[in-house]
A and B are shown apart, each in its own frame.
Chain A
Amino acid sequence: MNIETLFNYLKSDLSTSLPAFSPELTICATILALLFARLFNVDRRGSLISPAGITLTGIGVAFVLSVVQLGKFTDSGSDQGSGMFTGLLLFDGFTAFFRVFLLVSIILIVWLTQLSGIPDREDGPDFFILLLGSTLGMMLMASANHMLMLFLAIEMTSVPSYVMVGFLKGRKTASEAALKYVVYGGGAAGVMLYGISLLAGLLGTAHLPEMAAQLAKIANDPALMSGPTLTTLAIAVVMILVGIAFKLSLFPFHFWCPDAFEGASAEVAGFLSVASKAGAFALLVRFCLAMVGEFTEIHATPAAMKQFNLQIGVVLGFVAAITATFGNLAAYSQTNMKRLLAYSTIAHAGYMLMAVSAMMIFLSLGDSNGAKRAIEGLLYYLMVYLVMNLGAFGIVALIRNEIFSEQIADYAQLAKSSPMLAVGMLICLFSLVGIPPTGGFVGKFMIFAAMFDAAEYQPIMYAVFVVGVLNTVFSLFYYLNVLRVMWIVPADESARTAEVPLASRSGAFVAVLSIAVIVTGTIFVAPVQQIAEQVTRLVSS
């Protein structure tokens, strides 16, 4: 290839890649705008431009761009995904969906920070730059198509979130949480990178689709598919899954999660709990699909590879069951609300992982319809999880601003002093349990249904299914305990009371999220499901 053909190739590649990459570019431009606004001193107190204003404008533009892109995909239906930047990133319906999802979640987070006052205007640019940088990493996670991008995206998400966890200066708990997060996170990233190096060396490529092809080639050769090759392959895949499991706070890599959430402010904890989980799930699905190879080639997949994928599915299923059980059991003894929600986050990561496990089992057996249903359940659950969990963390932040406490005991009689927050918390927690008519019920139902179908192929998965359903029942009690304190337990005479009326900016935030939780569980079940279904069809096409 001479320099001219290379140049022409790059020119044609860039002209298709840059428009597809426009939401990310907008986020980059917003980060630059925030930096320049601070440099030229135009966003300080008293001036018209505020850091949050710049941020919201940037996210708004990116949101419109990505909604248009998603619309293009869902309209054309069978539109195939295309590679961006010489195939390093993949641009398909899945990417477009996760961009919209992540942008909605940071719009809600920025809205919440404006209500709760963390960060203040002086620290605003720093905080929003970190928030946007982290989101950029998550958007890359959803579109990663190369091991390099996979690792870069994970690091790009993690490094700003380490700083955000320690953002509250001069607090012992915040600095401790950040230190624990960065030490564990760095370790997990290192192990993951070593796994990537082994896998890339074994397969001779780091491009996900080519890896799948190479994997099938190795699996076809009985001489290669034994002994050292198989061991190396298994070690490498396990190491990479460790890195992703750390981001998803799956058992036994969950220990950072409660500490980081307790030390961080509730706004940051909400961001980590929703957006970071969604990005990591997108990445896990991408990686799993790459291991399986193209949907259409399922029947050509050699038996050894099918067995390997089936085993990954079963292992993920058991990890999911243990994670959900552990999260729910540990949540019982918690007295701090953020810590309780952290364990609840762990449990929910377990439920959502069941969908990925079911997907792997379906795919290993060539049932692409079952796999579609499983991804559909995962996407639906993520959408509901966004509103219900962010609602719960938002209410924790709003109560903290009133009573300066995050202890559950201090929430006594909240139902009397600010019924709005108590009702919002009730709706969000009921949805987290999965009680109809909330969105959480429909999401859990879809995931458990997919798991149940997968169990027909692999009877041992009935155990995972039963554990999942039992966990839903366990979890009812600790969520109910919070509500009991809010509604029934008498308050101390000296206790501070939180008074947030319905007709206030905070009231509007809580109302919007609570209504969204109910709406996703009732009248909007069909449309939300339709979006999930369309996106899934795009993934498999």
Chain B
Amino acid sequence: MPELNFCILIGAVLFVSGVVCMATKRNAIGVLMGVELVLNAANLNFVAFARYTALGLDGQILSLFVIVLAAAEAAVALAIALNFYNNHLTIDVDRADDLHG
């Protein structure tokens, strides 16, 4: 199925971009954007599998739930990033080095 392979390929590219973004960005917001990319890569997979394989409606329902969850997680993560900024006056994750050992 060329269509399915094409969708999964896009998903894989998104996933890798997200992981690279998480690993290289030093800005906390940038890292969170990487997380969103990874979640959406999985979403794309779900929708593609729902269309072309036996997964069916389950895949679409899964991706709907994930969209809601991603929004909830982003809200919490941004609040935590803001809290970090208030205490440290930066959102550079490399400056989060008070705890170590």
Partner among A170, A182, A197 whose Cβ is within 8 Å of the Cβ of B46: A197
Q: Add 10 more A-B contacts to A151-B66, A204-B53 (CB < 8 A).
A: A163-B80, A175-B80, A176-B87, A179-B81, A187-B38, A189-B73, A190-B35, A197-B45, A197-B49, A258-B101
User: In A175-231, which residues have CB < 8 Å from any B CB?
Assistant: 175-180, 182-183, 186-187, 189-191, 193-194, 196-198, 200-201, 204-207
**Do the beta carbons of B49 and A201 come within 8 Å of each other?**
yes
Residues of the A chain whose Cβ atoms lie less than 8 Å from the Cβ of B53: 201, 204
B100 to chain A, nearest CB (A): 8
**Do the beta carbons of B80 and A178 come within 8 Å of each other?**
yes
Give the 10 A-B CB pairs with smallest separation, nearest first: A204-B54, A190-B38, A201-B49, A197-B45, A186-B35, A193-B42, A259-B99, A197-B42, A175-B87, A194-B42
B83 to chain A, nearest CB (A): 5
A45 contacts partner chain B, Cβ-Cβ < 8 Å = no
Main secondary structure of the interface of B (DSSP, over half): helix
A80 contacts partner chain B, Cβ-Cβ < 8 Å = no
**Do the beta carbons of A198 and B45 come within 8 Å of each other?**
yes
Q: Give complex CA distance A195, B49 in Å.
A: 13
Residues of the B chain whose Cβ atoms lie less than 8 Å from the Cβ of A177: 99
B8 to chain A, nearest CB (A): 8
Residues of the B chain whose Cβ atoms lie less than 8 Å from the Cβ of A166: 80, 83
The interface of chain A, by Cβ under 8 A from chain B, is 147-148, 151-152, 155, 159, 162-163, 166, 169-173, 175-180, 182-183, 186-187, 189-191, 193-194, 196-198, 200-201, 204-207, 258-259, 262-263, 333-336, 339
Residues of the A chain whose Cβ atoms lie less than 8 Å from the Cβ of B86: 175
Residues of the B chain whose Cβ atoms lie less than 8 Å from the Cβ of A162: 76-77, 80
**Do the beta carbons of B101 and A201 come within 8 Å of each other?**
no
B9 contacts partner chain A, Cβ-Cβ < 8 Å = no
**Do the beta carbons of A176 and B99 come within 8 Å of each other?**
yes
**Do the beta carbons of A163 and B76 come within 8 Å of each other?**
yes
Interface size on B, residues (CB 8 A): 48
Partner among B19, B55, B66 whose Cβ is within 8 Å of the Cβ of A205: B55
Q: From A201, which residue of chain B is reached at the shortest CB distance?
A: B49
Q: Give complex CA distance A191, B16 in Å.
A: 10
Q: Give complex CA distance A172, B49 in Å.
A: 45
Q: From B82, which residue of chain A is reached at the shortest CB distance?
A: A175
Known contacts A176-B84, A183-B93, A200-B58; decide if A193 and B99 are in contact (CB<8 Å).
no
**Do the beta carbons of B101 and A191 come within 8 Å of each other?**
no
B93 to chain A, nearest CB (A): 7
Residues of the B chain whose Cβ atoms lie less than 8 Å from the Cβ of A176: 84, 87-88, 96, 98-99
B24 to chain A, nearest CB (A): 13
A122 to chain B, nearest CB (A): 18
B56 to chain A, nearest CB (A): 8
**Do the beta carbons of B49 and A200 come within 8 Å of each other?**
yes
Q: Give complex CA distance A369, B72 in Å.
A: 43
Residues of the A chain whose Cβ atoms lie less than 8 Å from the Cβ of B42: 190, 193-194, 196-197
Residues of the A chain whose Cβ atoms lie less than 8 Å from the Cβ of B62: 147-148, 151, 196-197, 200, 206
**Do the beta carbons of B84 and A179 come within 8 Å of each other?**
yes
Known contacts A197-B49, A200-B55; decide if A178 and B101 are in contact (CB<8 Å).
no
